[in-house]
C-alpha cells in the first residue's frame, strides 16, 4: 500500500478523543441469609466441640460474644439498607440465629456430648469441602 505512512502508529485512528463517561454502579443487595446460617453452624461446631474442655463461664462468654457479633451484623445490615434506600428485609433470621444457635449448642452438649459434636463437625466440614470441590 503505497499511500500509507510508515511512521504512523498502529491503531491511531481508534484512539478516543473524549473521555469516557463514568457510570455510577448501583449497590446490589445480598441474596439471602446464607452467611448468617453458615456462621451460626460454625459457632455451634466450635462452642459445642469445646464444651467438655473449658469452664462453663467460657461457654457463657462465647454465647455473649456470638450475640454481640450477631447484633453488629444486624446493625450493619440496617445501616446499609438506609444508606442505599432499600426496603427493609425481615429481621427474624438474625434473632433466630442468635437464640437458635445458643439453644442448639446447649441441647447438643446435653444430648451427645462434646466428642460426638467434634466428630460430627469434622464429617460436616468434609462434606462441605467435597461439595465446594464439585461446584468450584
Mind listing the pLDDT tens digit for each residue in 31-48?
889 999 999 999 999 999
With cut-offs at 50, 70 and 90, classify the pLDDT of residue 5: low
HEC readout, 28-41: CCCCCCHHHHHHHH
Grid coordinates belonging to 96: 433466630
Give the integer Cα–Cα distance in Å for 45 and 108: 10
With cut-offs at 50, 70 and 90, classify the pLDDT of residue 55: very high
- The arithmetic mean of pLDDT across residues 12-37, rounded, is 79
CA 83 to chain centre: 20
Q: Which helix (H) or strand (E) holds 109?
A: helix 92-111
Q: What's the predicted TM-score (pTM) here?
A: 0.77
Amino acid at each position: 500500500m503505497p499511500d500509507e505512512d510508515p511512521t504512523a502508529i498502529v491503531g491511531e485512528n481508534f484512539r478516543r478523543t473524549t473521555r469516557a463517561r463514568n457510570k455510577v454502579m448501583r449497590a446490589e443487595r445480598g441474596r439471602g441469609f446464607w452467611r448468617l446460617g453458615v456462621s451460626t453452624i460454625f459457632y455451634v461446631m466450635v462452642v459445642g466441640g469445646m464444651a467438655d474442655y473449658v469452664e462453663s463461664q467460657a461457654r457463657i462468654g462465647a454465647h455473649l460474644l456470638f450475640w454481640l457479633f450477631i447484633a453488629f451484623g444486624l446493625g450493619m445490615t440496617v445501616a446499609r439498607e438506609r444508606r442505599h434506600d432499600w426496603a427493609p428485609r425481615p429481621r427474624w433470621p438474625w434473632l433466630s440465629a442468635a437464640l437458635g444457635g445458643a439453644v442448639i449448642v446447649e441441647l447438643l452438649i446435653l444430648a451427645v456430648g462434646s466428642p460426638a459434636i467434634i466428630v460430627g463437625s469434622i464429617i460436616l466440614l468434609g462434606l462441605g469441602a467435597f461439595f465446594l470441590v464439585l461446584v468450584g
